C-alpha cells in the first residue's frame, strides 16, 4: 500500500562520503527486512557513485519501501560539457526520489550559497523529484541571537517556486557531527518558525515536512520526535550502522 509521505515521519540517512559495495548491500538488505514501519518514510542517501546500487537493492520491497536520496545534484540541467557533474535528469534516470540541497558541508567546502541552491532546486523540481533543502545557523549566528535571520535568509530560496511540496531539514551547523544537540525548546521554536516562513513564502495550501538534523542517534531520537513540528530526522553518523539507524526508525514509528 502506498502511504502519503506528507503524513509520515521521514528518517533519511545521509551517508556522506562513506560506504562501499559490500557494506552497502549488507546494510540495505537488513533495512529491507526491518519490521513494518508504515508511519515512516525511510530514505538512504549514499554517495553518488552508489545511487544505482542502492536503488537496485531497494527495488524488492519487503516490509518497507526505502527511498533513494542523492546528497547533491548539478546546478546544470540535462547534458553537456560540465566535467564531473551529475544532472537531476540522470538522478531521475537511475531511480532517485529525493535530493538533498544545500547541506552545510556543501556550503563550507564548496562555497555553495542561495543562488546555486536555487538553480539546483529548480532542476530537481523540473524533473519531478523532491528537493530536501537543508538550513541551519552557525554557532556564531546562534550566539549573536541571529539564528532566525540566518534561517529566514536560507529559506528565501523557496520564494516563487512552482511546487506545493516543501521538505526542509533544520540542521544547526554546530550540532552536525559534534554530538551537541539543540534543546527541545530550541528545536520547537525553530521548527515552528520554519513552518510559518514556508506558509508565508509559498501559500497556505502547501505540504510541509520539517526534519531535524544534527547528532540524532538511537538514544535521543524518541525525545526529538516528541517535539511539535518535528516531522522526522536527517541522520548522519548514526545512519551508517544498522542498529542505530533501525532504532531511530522505530522511534519515528512509535512517535
**Active site positions, annotated:** 103, 171
User: Is 71 a binder of ligand PEP (CB under 6 A)?
Assistant: no
Site string for ligand PEP, 141-180 (x = CB under 6 A): ------------------------------x----xx---
User: Is 99 a binder of ligand PEP (CB under 6 A)?
Assistant: no
User: Is 46 a binder of ligand PEP (CB under 6 A)?
Assistant: no
User: Is 12 a binder of ligand PEP (CB under 6 A)?
Assistant: no
User: Is 11 a binder of ligand PEP (CB under 6 A)?
Assistant: no
Residues 6+ apart with CB under 8 A from 13: 43, 44, 45, 235, 239, 240, 245
Site string for ligand PEP, 16-35 (x = CB under 6 A): x-------------------
List helix spans (H) across the chain: 21-32, 51-58, 88-93, 104-110, 114-126, 139-143, 147-155, 184-202, 221-225, 242-254
Three-state SS for 33? coil
Angle 64-7-165 from CA coordinates, rounded to 5°? 105
User: Is 14 a binder of ligand PEP (CB under 6 A)?
Assistant: yes
One of 58, 129, 173, 235 touching ligand PEP (CB under 6 A): 235
What distance in Å separates the CA atoms of residue 67 and residue 129, rounded to the nearest whole number? 11
User: Is 216 a binder of ligand PEP (CB under 6 A)?
Assistant: yes
Three-state SS for 113? coil
What distance in Å separates the CA atoms of residue 62 and residue 179, rounded to the nearest whole number? 33
Binding site for ligand PEP (CB under 6 A): 14, 16, 171, 176-177, 213-216, 234-238
Amino acid at each position: 500500500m502506498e502511504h502519503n509521505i506528507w503524513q509520515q515521519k521521514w528518517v533519511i540517512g545521509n551517508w556522506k562520503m562513506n560506504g562501499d559495495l559490500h557494506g552497502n548491500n549488507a546494510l540495505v538488505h537488513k533495512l529491507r527486512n526491518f519490521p513494518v514501519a508504515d508511519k515512516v518514510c525511510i530514505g538512504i542517501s549514499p554517495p553518488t557513485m552508489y545511487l544505482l546500487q542502492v536503488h537496485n537493492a531497494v527495488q524488492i520491497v519487503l516490509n518497507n519501501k526505502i527511498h533513494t536520496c542523492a546528497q547533491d545534484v548539478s546546478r546544470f540541467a540535462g547534458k553537456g560539457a560540465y566535467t564531473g557533474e551529475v544532472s537531476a535528469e540522470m538522478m531521475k534516470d537511475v531511480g532517485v526520489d529525493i535530493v538533498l540541497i544545500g547541506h552545510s558541508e556543501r556550503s563550507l567546502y564548496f562555497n555553495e550559497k542561495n543562488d546555486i541552491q536555487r538553480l539546483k532546486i529548480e532542476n530537481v523540481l523540473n524533473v519531478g523529484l523532491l528537493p530536501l533543502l537543508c538550513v541551519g545557523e552557525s554557532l556564531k549566528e546562534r550566539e549573536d541571537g541571529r539564528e532566525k535571520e540566518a534561517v529566514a535568509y536560507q529559506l528565501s530560496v523557496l520564494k516563487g517556486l512552482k511546487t506545493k511540496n516543501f521538505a526542509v531539514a533544520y540542521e544547526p551547523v554546530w550540532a552536525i557531527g559534534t554530538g551537541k544537540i539543540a534543546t527541545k525548546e530550541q528545536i520547537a521554536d525553530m521548527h515552528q518558525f520554519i513552518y510559518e516562513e514556508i506558509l508565508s513564502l509559498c501559500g497556505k495550501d502547501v505540504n510541509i515536512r520539517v526534519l531535524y538534523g544534527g547528532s540524532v542517534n538511537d538514544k535521543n531520537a524518541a525525545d526529538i520526535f516528541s517535539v511539535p513540528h518535528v516531522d522526522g530526522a536527517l541522520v548522519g553518523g548514526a545512519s551508517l550502522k544498522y542498529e542505530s539507524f533501525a532504532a531511530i526508525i522505530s522511534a519515528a514509528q512509535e512517535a
